[in-house]
Amino acid sequence: MPKGIIGKKIGMTRVFKDGKAVPVTVIQVEPNYVVTVRTEEKDGYSAVQLGTGARKEKRTPKPLLAIFNKAGVKPLKYLREFPLKEGENLEPGQEIKVEDVFEKGDLVDVTGKSKGKGFTSTMKRWDFSGFPKSHGSRYHRAVGSIGACSDPGRVFKGQRMAGHYGNVTTTVTGLEVVDIIPEKNVILVKGSVPGATNSVVTLKESVIVNRRKGKRKLEKSKAIYA
């Protein structure tokens, strides 16, 4: 099976485990379909391209439509590529469900596009402390100094300033899978994930699983949600 799957963020709620309220994000995972299989011999790496979401055939580019027809699937709206687990072999057109990839207690990384906040100041964008709030100060939320004087005589690239905040692809790592509801194609992930309601997110096997801290967290999670 692939090490990830495509889903849609529905919203947040809470579940009760051992008398404690656990905040969770509800992610709906409609069946994903294998579109393309990458192999070591042909592509130099092992991976699989999954697709989900209905797409109108007349709005599908012909080169992409040819790929769907070759795989034996209907045109799909969202495509993502995931590495394959060792020893796994999938065929184009094969259906992948959320319970085939994850189980309760797993650690996942969730990637999505964060909510756009528009143009914001440095205090909101970069958590600057600002200037004194007393009456003696005329500058409360201003940026302050952004560089030196005549030397170097310019503002360095990367200087933290006011600007566009949010609406970028971001990833939250090491979230626990609290529950999976196969009959509703739903997975419950502990905590919040990037993106607005009904936005597309990808769930992958967490990169921290093999780290010392990740192993401890995974063992604890398996024990709790077993």
Locate the domains of the chain by residue range.
Answer: 1-29+98-116+166-226, 31-96, 120-146
Whether the pLDDT of residue 86 is over 90: the answer is no
Whether the pLDDT of residue 133 is over 80: the answer is yes
pLDDT of residue 40: 85
Sheet architecture: strand order including 32-38: 76-83, 47-54, 32-38, 95-96
Whether the pLDDT of residue 225 is over 90: the answer is no
Whether the pLDDT of residue 151 is over 90: the answer is no
Strand extents, DSSP E, the chain: 4-17, 20-28, 32-38, 47-54, 76-83, 95-96, 107-113, 118-120, 163-165, 169-181, 186-190, 200-205
Helix (H, G, I), strand (E, B) or coil at 113: strand
Supply the pTM of this predicted model.
0.85
What value does the mean pLDDT take over residues 74-95?
Answer: 88
pLDDT of residue 226: 66
What value does the mean pLDDT take over residues 111-130?
Answer: 94
What value does the mean pLDDT take over residues 152-177?
Answer: 93
Average pLDDT, the chain: 90
Per-residue buried b or exposed e for 14-34, using 16+ beta carbons within 10 Å of the residue's own CB: eeeeeeeebebbbbebbebbb
pLDDT of residue 25: 96
What value does the mean pLDDT take over residues 124-134?
Answer: 93
CA distance 31 to 188: 16
* Top-confidence residue, 2 or 50: 50
Segment 8-13 long-range contacts (CB within 8 Å, at least 24 positions apart): 8/198, 8/199, 8/200, 8/201, 9/112, 9/193, 9/195, 9/196, 9/197, 9/198, 9/199, 9/200, 9/201, 10/186, 10/197, 10/198, 11/197, 12/192
pLDDT of residue 43: 86
In terms of DSSP bridges, do strands 107-113 and 200-205 run parallel, antiparallel, or are they unpaired?
A: antiparallel
Per CATH, the homologous superfamily of domain 1-29+98-116+166-226 is Translation factors (2.40.30.10)
CA distance 27 to 4: 13
pLDDT of residue 111: 96
What value does the mean pLDDT take over residues 105-132?
Answer: 94
What value does the mean pLDDT take over residues 41-59?
Answer: 90
Whether the pLDDT of residue 12 is over 90: the answer is yes
Whether the pLDDT of residue 26 is over 90: the answer is yes
- What is the Rg, in whole angstroms, of the alpha carbon atoms belonging to the chain? 23
Percentage of the chain lying above the pLDDT 90 cut: 62
CA distance 87 to 81: 18
pLDDT of residue 122: 93
CATH number of 31-96: 3.30.160.810
Write the CA distances from 71 to 91, 93, 106, 171, 199, integer angstroms: 9, 5, 30, 30, 26
